[in-house]
Amino acid sequence: MANNESPILLFDGVCNLCNGAVQFIIKRDPGQKIRFASLQSSAGQKLLAQFDLPTEDFRSLVLIEGDRLRQRSGAALRVCRYLRQPWPLATLMLVVPPFIRDFCYDFVAVRRYRWFGRQESCWLPTPDLKKRFLDGEM
């Protein structure tokens, strides 16, 4: 399912913060390299199962690059390298030890619904953005 050509970002489809992040990425990914699937979608569920990840606990972004999987702060920071300048500079934060980065990531993740809210259903992309989402392909 995952391929070596396009990174795939799995996100919580009902989280307002996550949906905002996806829209942020779409606007700053000029090469349209990153593809997306919500964790709740059939494509997201299949990819989670393929990598032996839980299919019900959605506290993390998941970035799949070929056969490599990244989660939490590692996923968020590695996405930045696909974006136009100055965002690739954020990858410099990868020198910070993961336990520190992930502590900060988790602090926001457990409070994201309270702080940013949630939707009753997953965000649906516009017809011209649909080609970047895996949901209809699997």
Which tens digits make up the pLDDT trace of 109-132?
999 989 999 887 665 667 677 778
pLDDT at 97 (0 to 100)? 97
Where do the structural domains in the chain lie, given as residue ranges?
Answer: 8-132
Q: 18 versus 135: which is more confidently predicted?
A: 18
Distance CA 95, CA 74 (A): 11
Distance CA 70, CA 25 (A): 17
> Residue 56 — φ and ψ, nearest 5°?
-130, -20
Whole-model pTM: value is: 0.86
Distance CA 63, CA 111 (A): 21
Q: 28 versus 124: which is more confidently predicted?
A: 28
Token pair of 121, please? Answer: 């259903």
Short-list 50, 49, 61, 59, CA closest to 11: 61
Burial bucket for residue 64 (CB in 10 Å: 0-12, 13-18, 19+): buried
- Give the pLDDT confidence of 97-112 residue by residue, as tens digits: 999 999 999 999 999 9
125, 21 Cβ separation under 8 angstroms: no
10 Å Cβ neighbour count for 4? 9
> Residue 15 — φ and ψ, nearest 5°?
-85, 125
Short-list 125, 134, 121, CA closest to 27: 125
Q: 129 versus 22: which is more confidently predicted?
A: 22
Please report where in the chains the tokens 């396009």 appear, as a residue: 6
Q: 123 versus 134: which is more confidently predicted?
A: 134
What does the radius of gyration of the chain's CA atoms come to, in whole angstroms?
A: 14
What is the pLDDT of the chain when averaged over all its residues?
88
